[in-house]
Structure 1
Amino acid sequence: MNASTILMTGLAGFLLTALATGPLGRLAIRWGITDRPGGYKAHARPIPYLGGVAIMLGTVAPVIVIVGLNDLTLAVVICAAVAVALLGLIDDIAPLSPIARLGVESVAAAGVVLGGLHAPVTGGWPDVPLTILWIVLITNSFNLLDNQDGSLGAITAAGAAPLAVTAFVAGRPMIGMMLTALCCAGVGFLLHNWAPARVFMGDSGSLFIGFVVACSATAVARDEAPDQVIGTLLLPTFVATIDTGVVLLSRARAGRPLLLGATDHLSHRLNALGLSVGGTTLVLAGAAALSGALNLAMTLRLTPPLITTVAAVAAVIVLIGLLQKAHSPVPGPAGEPAVSITERR
């Protein structure tokens, strides 16, 4: 894959997303596909969704037109990711039950696995259900990350870039091209979503991003040595994994429903430490870039795979524990649990 093709794909992803987000946002307002203000939400007027549709178009269209879908793995991942984006779009219009969402996501993940993509964690048949579970988990972890203006767009751009390079190095050029488009689509979306956001990506974007990143990490891990499979899966999803762990643990300890919005995400905890919304976004994006760079270094054998993997797992556990203390909840109305000031719904 030559440099000009990579550059064209990235530029197309950026321009298509940047140019499509505005019109799609106006269409969302006309159709009433918006996040309405109320409670402790930060915005005072309805903010349109459909930014995720622009991200999906900015990722998929350049790949189809410039790269093509001759690679089976790429074709299967693209088709399944589009299905997940459509699921998110439906959920943005008329919220679905968690069971329905998980069911469709599981079918999409199973389709990818049946297409030949799985992570060789055990080397046996358990790899199939483990891969499906992993893809679904990470898909929803990225969905949880979309809780503050600019956060997920920046994390996507910062994390997809080193993962794209890793894919090229690992002999997965088609996956690398898809990630290049995704990275640049994230940058294009940030033009509209940086605080104060004018457009939200919604579930169509966050689920799509999570699915693509999960499948891409799995594709790279498939051909890696056994001692670095776990690290290859964990490092590109480092921020999402920590955020999900922190959220689930804090809600379980407080006796709150796991799916109820609250000020217990990484972004809220960093805000509680005194960081602004923009500062929080930069910290999370920096963490995504750093963990992605560490994954690349491991793939290049610049760092010992086993030690890197153990350190990454330990860091996740330690950070989840430490971040439990950095929490300043916003009280909800009398008798109700806390509600996030930036939770989309």
Structure 2
Amino acid sequence: MNVLGIIASGVAALFITVALAKSARRVALRPHVPDEPGGRAPRADVLRRTGGATAVLGVGTATGAALWLGAADGSAGSVGGLLAGAGTVAVLGLVHDLKPLGAAPRLAVQTGAAVLVVCLAGLSPAAGVLAVLWTVLVTNAFALLDHAHGLLTAVGLVTAAGLLACAVVGGDPALALLPTTLLAGLSGFLLHTWHPARLRLGAVGAQFTGFALAASGALVLAAAPAGRTAWAALPVLATVALADSGLVLISRRRAGRSPLRDTDDHIAHRLRRVRVTVPGAAVLAALWAAVPVASGTLVYAELLHPAFLLLPLAGTAAAVYALLRIPAYAPPRTAQSRTGSSRTASSRTASSRTTSSGVAPSRTAAARRTGATGAGAVIPAAAGAPGAKGAAPGQSAARTAAGQPTVPPPPTGRPAAEAATAAAERG
């Protein structure tokens, strides 16, 4: 193994990823064309959604150059198979970003890429079948972690560091090439995908990262010495990704939802419901992943007894149980609320119909009389009608259009007492 070549490939992957991501970010944040509706131009939106392609190009270019320069020595076939399989899955992710694909074609391509890795690595049929199943499972588990800004990048960094340590400690040290370049590429891309993210890993970056980690772990496990407990140590490195998948499947099963329909029920979504910020969720996930990764690496190096792996697994089970108690779905509408709303709507409809049909004739008639006589006209009321209380028979009480009595005009003749006195004097 050419150690200097592997270190140089990691540095190259870091600089290539930083340069490409910075260029893509500059284009993505460029002001939109005024004639185009929306916030940004369509090209900028595509670049933001497929920003993980910059990390893929950085890691792939550095790894391919290291292989061409002979940094992998005798394990060039295994590392070349890893790179070819991860590149195939990355192309699948890019197509999925541009035009969403179904689950069947994605699983078919992932399985074919895993078979390619197994064949080029020369594994036995039994080990090959287990490696293919493990690779497909962990690839999709890591891809599901791309549901919050910086979450998958942070967890991927921790996992790649653990794989790098395991590859250096035992097995084939040349298998540390891809974890090294992946660690460097994700480090260069972390600031761009941190909240608020200017670029996203997308399916292209998530599929590539998950496949590279899963396949590298399978090959490191297959190349481990017989005396090491790699069968127990290496699977622990994917604890957080598998915990998120298990959390989602259990939650959707209990809620009667489809397991393939993605919704806001992942780890970061539930942490957000208990007032954890987006960067805080990424940091918590990275710390969560660091515990089993460190434990697995120490067990792989024979510095800890394998029984210590039960502690992070028990803590993960407790964390999943606690996250399941956080509500992730909106409560369903009850039949009573629907009935009450329908009754309210029907009553409103009936009232509107009543008003339009003229069931209140007094207001309608008053409005018609007001409109016929003119605004503010005096409408005489019938004798003996309500509101004419105190009026003499044969007289009518004057009312305004609003129905209020008016002040009667002053009498024009003399009072009755003066008329009687004048008649007595004449008589």
Name the stretch that deviates more: 15-24 or 1-10.
1-10
- Where in structure 2 are the equivalents of 1:299-310 lying within 5 Å? 299-305=300-306, 307-310=307-310
TM-score by length of 2: 0.67
Give the CA deviation at 1:205.
0.5
Q: Which position in structure 2 is the counterpart of 1:173? A: 173
Query: Structure 1: how far apart are the matches of 2:228 and 2:175?
Result: 22
Root-mean-square deviation (Å): 2.9
1:263 aligned counterpart, secondary structure:
coil
Query: Structure 2: how far apart are the matches of 1:21 and 1:279?
Result: 24
Kept in 1, the 8 Å contact 2:63–2:83? The answer is no
Q: Does 1:18 align with 2:23?
A: no
Give the CA deviation at 1:317.
3.8
Cα deviations across residues 164-183 of structure 1 (Å, max 9, x unaligned)?
11111113222212111101
Counterpart of 1:288 in structure 2: which amino acid?
A
State, as a whole percentage, how many aligned pairs show the same letter: 32
Query: Structure 2: how far apart are the matches of 1:198 and 1:219?
Result: 34
Q: Which position in structure 2 is the counterpart of 1:133? A: 133
Q: Which position in structure 2 is the counterpart of 1:191? A: 191
Q: Does 1:265 align with 2:266?
A: yes
Cα deviations across residues 243-274 of structure 1 (Å, max 9, x unaligned)?
11101111111111112222211112222233
Q: Which position in structure 2 is the counterpart of 1:337? A: none
- The 1:333/1:136 distance shift into structure 2, 3 A limit, reads farther
Give the CA deviation at 1:311.
4.4
Q: Which position in structure 2 is the counterpart of 1:78? A: 83
Give the CA deviation at 1:329.
3.9
2:210 aligned counterpart, secondary structure:
helix
- Where in structure 2 are the equivalents of 1:265-304 lying within 5 Å? 265-304=266-305
Q: Which position in structure 2 is the counterpart of 1:112? A: 117
Query: Structure 1: how far apart are the matches of 2:19 and 2:184?
Result: 13
Give the CA deviation at 1:327.
3.7
Name the stretch that deviates more: 234-243 or 9-18.
9-18
Cα deviations across residues 122-141 of structure 1 (Å, max 9, x unaligned)?
xx854333221111011111
Query: Structure 2: how far apart are the matches of 1:206 and 1:139?
Result: 8
Kept in 2, the 8 Å contact 1:153–1:190? The answer is yes
- Where in structure 2 are the equivalents of 1:80-95 lying within 5 Å? 80-95=85-100
Name the stretch that deviates more: 324-333 or 158-167.
324-333
Counterpart of 1:92 in structure 2: which amino acid?
D
Query: Structure 1: how far apart are the matches of 2:151 and 2:302?
Result: 31
Give the CA deviation at 1:187.
1.2
- Where in structure 2 are the equivalents of 1:1-345 lying within 5 Å? 1=1, 4-24=4-24, 46=45, 48-68=48-68, 71-116=76-121, 125-224=125-224, 225=226, 228-305=229-306, 307-329=307-329
- The 1:327/1:302 distance shift into structure 2, 3 A limit, reads farther
Query: Structure 2: how far apart are the matches of 1:117 and 1:276?
Result: 46
| Unmatched runs of 5 consecutive residues or more in structure 1 | 31-36, 38-44, 119-123, 335-345
Query: Structure 2: how far apart are the matches of 1:157 and 1:230?
Result: 22
Query: Structure 1: how far apart are the matches of 2:204 and 2:330?
Result: 27
Query: Structure 1: how far apart are the matches of 2:245 and 2:106?
Result: 17
Kept in 2, the 8 Å contact 1:51–1:189? The answer is no
- The 1:276/1:55 distance shift into structure 2, 3 A limit, reads same
